[in-house]
Amino acid sequence: MPLLLLVALFIVVPLAELYLILKVGDVIGWWQTILLLALDSVLGSVLLRTQGRAVWRRFNETMAAGRVPHKELQHGIAVIFGGALLITPGFLTDILGLLLLLPPTRLVVLRLVMRRIAKRAQAHVVAEGSRPRSRGADVEGTATEYPRAEPPHLER
C-alpha cells in the first residue's frame, strides 16, 4: 500500500495538477491562470500566518494551563501541511490546503484522519495479539554476581 501511495503522490497528483492547469488556462486564459495561481499562493501564505499564530497561541495557553496540547499539535501539523499545499502551485493541492487551513473544515479533516489512524492502530494491536507465541524462544540460564572491583586509579 505505501508504494501505491507514493506513486499517487509523486506521479498521479502532479499529472492531474498539470492537466487541470492546462484546462483552466484554455478556459480563462494563460495570464489569468498564472495570476490566479500566484494569488492563491499569496492567500496561502497569509492564511498560514494567521492560522499558525492562532494555533500557536492556543498551544501556549494549553501548556500554561498544565494540559497536554495533543489537539493543538494536530491543528498545528494540519496548518503547516495546509500552508505548504496552498503555496504549491496547482488547483487540487490548493483545495486540500484550503480545507486544512480553515478551522471548520480542518476540524472535520482531523476527525476523519484520527478515526482512520485509530482504526488502523486497533487493527494492528488485534493482529499482533492474535499471533501465537513461539515456545522455542525461551532460554534457561544462570547468573553469578561478583563484587565490583575499584578501578586502579581509585585504590588507596
31-42 per-position pLDDT tens digit: 999 999 999 888
Range of the domain at 97: 11-128
Whether 148 is in a domain gets the answer no
Indicate whether 2 belongs to any domain: no
> What is the predicted pLDDT for the residue at 119?
87
In a domain, 137, yes or no: no
How far is it, in rounded angstroms, from Cα 35 to Cα 29?
10
Domain-embedded: residue 40:
yes
Q: Which residues contact 109 (CB under 8 A, 6 or more apart)?
A: 78, 99, 100
Whether 123 is in a domain gets the answer yes
Q: Is residue 141 part of a domain?
A: no
Q: Which pLDDT band, with edges at 50, 70 and 90, does 105 fall under?
A: very high
Please give the tally of structural domains in the chain. Answer: 1
Exposed, middle or buried by CB within 10 Å (0-12, 13-18, 19+), for 10?
Answer: exposed
Residue 13 has pLDDT above 80, yes or no: yes
C-alpha cell at 111: 476527525
The answer on pLDDT for 58 being more than 90 is: yes
pLDDT of residue 1: 62
Is 52 inside any structural domain?
yes
